[in-house]
Amino acid sequence: MKFDILTLFPEMFVGPFDASIIKRGRDKQLIDIALHNIRDYATDKHQVTDDTPYGGGAGMVMKVEPMAACIEAVKTLQPASRVVMTSPQGRRLTHAVASELAVLPGLIIICGRYEGIDERIRELYIEEDISLGDFVLSGGEIAAMTIVDAVTRLIPGVLGSEESALTDSFCDGLLEYPQYTRPTDFRGLKVPEILLSGNHALIRKWRRRESLRRTRALRPDLLAGFELNKEDRKLLAELEREDDTTFG
């Protein structure tokens, strides 16, 4: 998968893209990331990329010409890629959205700065706005890194089998169960016996129950939209009975 990132601050990406999973994806040539400096497409002497907003008010707006030239140059090289704008006004990035993006041939991700882009850029080129959440970042760079990371780990072959994305939170609609590693006793806090039992059927069931318990406690909204199987319904009924004995 090809990621093209359009930014005024390409230097921000050094580091996050050169370590761990993203580095491995690049080394295995499962992903390819290209950074494009929007400033390189400003043709005036001072390579100006921002200007004051029409109508007045605070802040600056990214100029339309350098951004348009940059998008057009990249789009010519990657005609099949989807053009995505990072924006607090966009569709919230979730596991479902990342999975949808992970099957595309490529993404052209635009990082806004200042007050954002000239609206005509959106009209002409943007296929989708994506948001990290209901807060405002200073720029789209960290959002672009987040999109690349969340999408990359879903591309087959990027994660090793030992770190499969399949059991991660949200993947099957539930939060992941609690995890433990050595030692079995840390300051009197013990690892649940069942995880040491070697009984895989019981371990699977325990994990399912704990997934349901967590999701029910922390994200009841996820559980509401989740299709429960027979075992889940039984486990949830048990959890409810536990509540009754604890609180009742």
Q: Which of 47, 51, 133, 179 binds ligand SAH (CB under 6 A)?
A: 133
Q: Which of 41, 116, 118, 210 binds ligand SAH (CB under 6 A)?
A: 116
Please enumerate, as own/partner, the contacts of 168-172 that have beta carbons within 8 Å and a separation of 24 or more: 169/95, 170/94, 170/95, 170/96, 170/222, 171/95
Q: How far apart are CA 54 and CA 50, in angstroms?
A: 12
Q: Should residue 136 be labelled a site residue for ligand SAH when binding is judged by CB under 6 A?
A: yes
**Token pair of 150 as six digits:** 């969340």
Q: At closest approach, how far in Å is the CB of 134 from ligand SAH?
A: 7
Strands 185-186 and 128-131: unpaired
In this chain, which stretch among 106-114, 153-161, 215-223, 229-237 interacts with ligand SAH, using CB under 6 A?
A: 106-114
Total residues interacting with ligand SAH, rule: CB under 6 A: 18
Sign of the four-CA dihedral 165, 171, 172, 174: positive
SS3 of 19, please? Answer: coil
Whether 204 contacts 177, CB under 8 Å? no
Q: How far apart are CA 125 and CA 81, in angstroms?
A: 12
In this chain, which stretch among 35-43, 73-81, 87-95, 221-229 interacts with ligand SAH, using CB under 6 A?
A: 87-95
Whether 72 contacts 121, CB under 8 Å? no
Q: Should residue 54 be labelled a site residue for ligand SAH when binding is judged by CB under 6 A?
A: no
In this chain, which stretch among 44-52, 127-135, 158-166, 184-192 interacts with ligand SAH, using CB under 6 A?
A: 127-135
Nearer to ligand SAH, 107 or 132 (CB): 132
In this chain, which stretch among 64-72, 133-141, 156-164, 227-235 interacts with ligand SAH, using CB under 6 A?
A: 133-141
Q: Which of 108, 143, 154, 159 binds ligand SAH (CB under 6 A)?
A: 143
Strands 106-110 and 128-131: unpaired
Catalytic: 168? Answer: yes
Q: Should residue 166 be labelled a site residue for ligand SAH when binding is judged by CB under 6 A?
A: no
- Active site amino acids: 88, 115, 153, 168
Q: List interacting residues with ligand SAH (CB under 6 A).
A: 86-89, 111-113, 115-116, 131-133, 135-137, 139-140, 143
